[in-house]
Amino acid sequence: MNRTLASVAFAVVIIVAIAAMIAHFRTADDTIPAVSSIDHLRATYSPLHFKPAIEKATDADCLACHREVLEDRVRTASPAGVKAADSLAWYQRVATYSGEQDTFHRRHLVTPFAKEVMKLSCTTCHQGHDVREEAPASSATAAPKSTTAFTLRKQVNVETTCLKCHGQMNAEVMGLPSPWPESREMFGNSCLTCHSAIRTHRHQVTYLNAEAIEQAGQKSDESCYGCHGGRAWYRIAYPYPRHAWDGMSPDVPDWAKDRPVASEARFVPPTANRSSK
Ligand code: HEC
Ligand code: HEC
Ligand code: HEC
Ligand code: HEC
Ligand code: HEC
């Protein structure tokens, strides 16, 4: 091989490498905020990803490193050219859905309907995870097998989060003659036909806007149904706590014998108000 050519090539490689290093350190020093001066591995093992620190984490704490969670947007068109606006799924054609298609996180945290009826925060769903194996009990110091914070190969526990709003409607315990889409007219297209007097102590949890939910429910059963069967990703219903309500019969029906009578403790607001509906 031509030696001059080889040494020229070598010199070019060295120069490019040095330039790349300078560029790298410049971005590291000049443009990335302080929290990112932690290296990737240490950030991955940030105490905020685990209990107990995650219990006290605010959205701002998480977003300091995970801005992408709220900033990333879906493509306007697929690589093959199908426009997002022209390919709406059935659950994106319901009355409560507004705006362009958006990411999962944004649909739960920042889009208009989410902000109206919910107040979810990162730690409503994220209660800690295992960055290495995505499995509980992966090591002596990892979350124990008994953890309910997340399940195998997941970063959250879907049974204690998603299922609350994406389970089936339990038409059977309600004594409905048929699924809601078929029986709704019989009840004046309103859940409140019955629920202005039944199970009226509801939604008194930190991650929901109880008042706004009732107002939305007065306008349309679609908003109630949306969280109680209308967007059911699961074939089972969530076993809701059964709060005592005014006018409730003292006899507990069989199906309700194992039900809790209060919301999950971590979501009970400090000023839970029994009478509000
Ligand atoms: C100091 C920066 C930092 C903070 C603060 C932080 N994270 Fe992370 N997080 C990371 C890094 C780095 C990773 C690993 C990314 C990778 O390797 O792909 C990660 C990964 C994750 C993952 C994916 C885990 C997996 O199993 O793949 C989730 C979920 C997550 N973080 C949620 C959170 C939540 C919720 C909070 C706030 C309670 C938070 N993070 C706070 C830096 C941070
Ligand atoms: C409604 C529940 C919910 C809320 C609220 C939520 N997340 Fe997530 N998040 C999830 C789920 C589900 C995943 C995917 C988990 C998996 O793959 O196992 C996820 C994944 C992630 C990941 C991994 C990377 C990715 O995008 O897949 C990060 C990081 C993350 N969430 C951060 C956050 C932060 C920060 C917040 C608050 C601003 C937040 N999440 C709020 C449910 C939620
Ligand atoms: C507190 C109630 C609540 C919880 C908990 C919840 N969701 Fe949702 N979810 C909603 C509502 C309300 C919408 C409709 C948002 C809209 O139309 O703007 C929705 C919409 C969705 C959509 C459709 C998004 C789209 O772009 O059309 C998906 C997918 C979804 N949820 C998955 C999940 C998963 C997975 C979890 C658990 C990690 C979860 N949800 C937890 C209330 C919830
Ligand atoms: C025909 C009257 C009636 C209508 C209409 C009705 N419900 Fe119910 N619902 C009931 C009864 C009865 C119960 C069970 C009361 C009890 O706990 O003893 C119930 C229970 C519930 C529960 C708790 C289920 C559980 O497993 O603990 C939810 C959630 C609920 N209804 C939501 C709705 C929504 C949303 C609508 C409208 C889409 C609706 N209901 C329409 C009568 C009705
Ligand atoms: C944003 C999602 C969302 C909407 C909208 C919504 N719910 Fe709920 N509902 C929930 C969740 C989550 C729970 C469980 C809260 C808890 O754990 O206490 C719940 C609980 C209930 C219960 C059980 C009450 C108890 O604790 O005994 C009833 C009944 C109910 N909802 C009816 C309704 C009706 C009627 C509407 C419309 C006016 C409605 N929901 C709208 C999410 C929703």
Which tens digits make up the pLDDT trace of 145-204? 999 999 999 999 999 999 999 999 999 999 999 999 999 999 999 999 999 999 999 999
Residue 212 in any domain: the answer is yes
The rounded Å distance from CA 126 to ligand 1 centre is 10
Give the span between the Cα atoms of 71 and 57, in whole angstroms. Answer: 20
Ligand 4 pocket mutation, candidates 117, 193, 199, criterion most atoms within 8 A of CB: 199
Question: How many separate domains does the chain show?
Answer: 1
Residue 175 in any domain: the answer is yes
The pLDDT of residue 29 is above 50: no
pLDDT level of residue 3 (50, 70, 90 thresholds): confident
pLDDT level of residue 49 (50, 70, 90 thresholds): very high
Which own/partner contact pairs does 177-186 have at CB distance under 8 Å and 24+ positions apart? 179/229, 180/221, 180/225, 180/229, 180/230, 184/221
Residue 202 in any domain: the answer is yes
Q: Which atom of ligand 5 is nearest to 243's Cα? A: 27
What is the per-residue pLDDT for 2? 63
Which domain, by its residues, includes 175?
163-275
The pLDDT of residue 79 is above 80: yes
Residue 246 in any domain: the answer is yes
Residue 122 in any domain: the answer is no
Pocket, ligand 5, Cβ cutoff 6 A = 117-118, 164-165, 191, 195, 199, 201-203, 205, 208, 213-214, 217, 223-224, 226-228, 240-243, 263-264
Sign of the torsion angle spanned by Cα atoms 244, 246, 249, 254: negative
The rounded Å distance from CA 104 to ligand 2 centre is 8
Six-digit token string for 161: 């989060």
Residue 66 in any domain: the answer is no
Residue 81 in any domain: the answer is no
Query: For residues 240 and 259, is the Cβ–Cβ distance under 8 A?
Result: yes
Residue 126 in any domain: the answer is no
What is the per-residue pLDDT for 25? 46
pLDDT level of residue 106 (50, 70, 90 thresholds): very high
The pLDDT of residue 275 is above 50: no
What is the per-residue pLDDT for 271? 76
Pocket, ligand 1, Cβ cutoff 6 A = 35, 38, 40, 43-44, 46, 48-49, 54, 57, 61-62, 64-66, 122-123, 126, 129, 131, 134, 155
Q: Which residues contact 74 (CB under 8 A, 6 or more apart)?
A: 84, 100, 101, 102, 103
pLDDT level of residue 28 (50, 70, 90 thresholds): very low
